[in-house]
Amino acid sequence: MHDALTGLLRQQAPVGRETWRSWWDQLGDGQLDQTQAVALLASLTSRIPDHQTLRHLLDSLAERRPATPAGAAWEGTVNVVGTGGGPRTFNISTASAFVAAAAGVKVVKTGSRAYTSSLGSVDLLERLGVRLTSSYAQTEDTLATYGIAFAGPFVYPAQLTRLARTVAPLSMKPFGRFLNALGPFLADLPVNAQVTGVSAAAPIDTLRALAASHQGRRIWLTTNDTGADELLPFATNTVHGENSLTRVIRPGELTPADGSFGDLRPAADPAGAVEHFLSVLSGTAGRIATRTVCLGAAALAVATDTRRDWHSAIALAEQAVRSGAARDLARRIAEAPRTTTPSKKPAVAHA
């Protein structure tokens, strides 16, 4: 049994970086079989370990990445991603990303297929006809063209693909709790801000410790008293910022406080998910849905300093919805020819 698995099972001390290095080396050399790979994932999922073990795990993966292309720092750009879990809703963070981009915020969205929901962000984008980017250069070009990009698997460590192949034919879905919790820290993107929604299913204290030890970007973790991984107008939300700075947003403080999860339900039939999502971007899915995505978009605007105060950020987002800029942005990306470069003039709403 590998020392990484032994250490996780004993839970007596953090699993160190050298141990994780050995694990990835042996996995790459084919020395670890399916049994050990499944056992390690099961251990990580059943009890997410301490932040030091996770920090060593993340560092052991980061040092194996190819160097990010020189000059690829994307100033004023925010990555938005969530841990999943919590009450079922439509894809709020994806809608907020489109609204924020239409309002002039540079956004990179990362995500995955569904682990705990019926339709993950990647599943929805696929149905919309929005393609994931396949390289840093393509992501940068897409950002320049539309103000938003949806990054593909290339931003994640290749070792995770090897791990998935090792556990095959078993699906990675049973390990979604761990993968979702750690996923926001796995994507390698040269952004300077990240907003991550954390559900009650994820260990917020551990993730806060990870965020505090991360270098190179501002990381905000958002939670609320409903357990959802989104900012909600009818909930008490907490934004956990850098240097232990927190901001509590109470119902009625930034938007009216009425509403419930009934107003945020996903489409009853997955076949209607695209139509429902576009109605959200158009502001015709109900006032609570509009407030919710605008609150999420405002967080992206404030995190990037596009706006310094939340009230003006929300007003900017609302204008992006009312003007049709958010829906138009989704339409233009979906309809972009695959073989030509579209005009580099994103539709931007101005308050």
Backbone φ and ψ of 206, nearest 5°? -65, -45
Nearest-Å Rg of the Cα atoms of the chain is 20
Whole-number Å distance between alpha carbons of 86 and 168: 28
Enter the DSSP assignment of 245.
-
Q: Is the pLDDT of residue 85 over 90?
A: no
Which helix (H) or strand (E) segment holds residue 332: the answer is: helix 325-335
- State the DSSP string of 279-331: HHHHT-S-HHHHHHHHHHHHHHHHHTTSSSSHHHHHHHHHHHHHTTHHHHHHH
Predicted pLDDT of residue 72? 67
CATH superfamily of the domain spanning 3-62: Transferase, Pyrimidine Nucleoside Phosphorylase; Chain C (1.20.970.10)
Q: How much is the pLDDT for 196?
A: 96
* pLDDT at res. 345: 43
| Other beta carbons less than 10 A from residue 68's beta carbon | 13
The predicted pLDDT at position 176 comes to: 84
- The CATH 3.40.1030.10 portion of the chain extends over 74-151+187-335
Task: Name residues whose C-beta falls within 8 Å of residue 345's C-beta, 6 or more positions apart in sequence.
Answer: none
Tokens 């270098």 belong to: 215
Write the pLDDT tens digit of every residue in 23-79. Answer: 999 999 999 999 999 999 999 999 999 999 999 999 999 999 887 765 668 999 999
Mean pLDDT, residues 194-222: 92
CATH class as words, domain 74-151+187-335: alpha beta
| Spatial contact of 74 and 108, defined as CB atoms under 8 Å apart | yes
Check: CB of residue 118 under 8 Å from CB of residue 124: no
> pTM for the whole thing?
0.91
pLDDT over 70 percentage in the chain? 92
Query: Is the confidence at residue 326, as pLDDT, over 80?
Result: yes
- Classify residue 334 by burial, with Cβ atoms within 10 Å: 0-12, 13-18, 19+: middle
Determine the pLDDT at residue 71: 60
Instruction: Quickly state the pLDDT bin for 114 (edges 50, 70, 90).
Output: low
Cα distance between residue 2 and residue 279, in whole Å? 51
d(CA 5, CA 32): 11
Tokens of 166: 């090792």
Token pair for 249: 């947003």
Of the chain, the end-to-end C-alpha distance in Å amounts to 60
Tens digit of each residue's pLDDT (9 = 90 or more) over 290-320: 999 999 999 999 999 999 999 999 999 999 9
Domain with CATH 1.20.970.10 in the chain: 3-62
Can you tell me the distance from the alpha carbon of 228 to that of 220, in angstroms, rounded to the nearest whole number?
Answer: 15
Which of 85, 60, 84, 51 is CA-nearest to residue 3? 60
CA 306 to chain centre: 20
CA gap 340, 351 in Å, rounded:
32
Tens digits of residue pLDDT in 332-348: 999 987 644 444 444 44
User: How many Cβ atoms sit within 10 Å of the Cβ of residue 261?
Assistant: 16
Tokens 């994932």 sit on residue: 41
Question: CA-CA distance, 286 to 292, in Å (whole number)?
Answer: 10
Tokens of 98: 């489109």
